[in-house]
Amino acid sequence: MEISSPGTLYGTLTLEEALSGRSSVRNKTLARTLEKVHVLEGWGSGFQRINTMCQEYGVALPEFTEIGDMFRVNFYRRQNSEIGDKSAINFKKMIVEYLAEHEEARSQEIADVIGLKISRTKDYITELVEEGKIVSNGANKNRTYSLKK
């Protein structure tokens, strides 16, 4: 998928600087207002968050380019399902290893440890339960997970 936007990065900000987490704000008053109402946070973290999400989902990192007075981002499909499978295997392995070291854990605790969002972590936990590698204990908010004995 290709997304093109008229205009370039703001001011003297280079692509390399943006990718490393530096930001340059066009409208500081608007940015501060959006930050106060919790719509905008983590200035300069957008490119890094995009890259992290692509890694989490096992897809190639996007390509960011400035072409004349346009900024373009190319997102790529999974070319080979093995990429996503390897990523899933690694995260599922991390979950099993964590539960081997701890008697039981909640999904949020596991998400914090492996560095994924709770929704993606729950997907992996569900797969592990279906595979019979871990078991769920309790219901809803009190649910914990442990290794199957």
Residues 96 and 68 in one domain: no
Residues 68 and 87 in one domain: no
Residues 94 and 69 in one domain: no
Mean pLDDT by 10 residues, the chain (149 residues): 87 80 79 80 76 82 89 80 58 91 92 88 93 92 90
Q: What domain range is 93 assigned to?
A: 81-147
pLDDT at 82: 44
Residues 55 and 85 in one domain: no
Provide the CATH number for the domain around residue 85.
1.10.10.10
Residues 105 and 129 in one domain: yes
Work out how many domains the chain is built from and give that number.
2
Residues 9 and 67 in one domain: yes
pLDDT at 129: 94
pLDDT at 41: 66
Task: Quote the tokens at residue 148.
Answer: 């199957």
pLDDT at 55: 83
Residues 56 and 16 in one domain: yes
pLDDT at 81: 46
Which regions of 32-140 does DSSP assign to beta strands (E)?
A: 63-67, 70-74, 134-137
Residues 66 and 114 in one domain: no
Provide the CATH number for the domain around residue 32.
3.30.565.60
Tokens 């992290």, residue located: 52
Helix (H) or strand (E) holding 146: strand 144-147
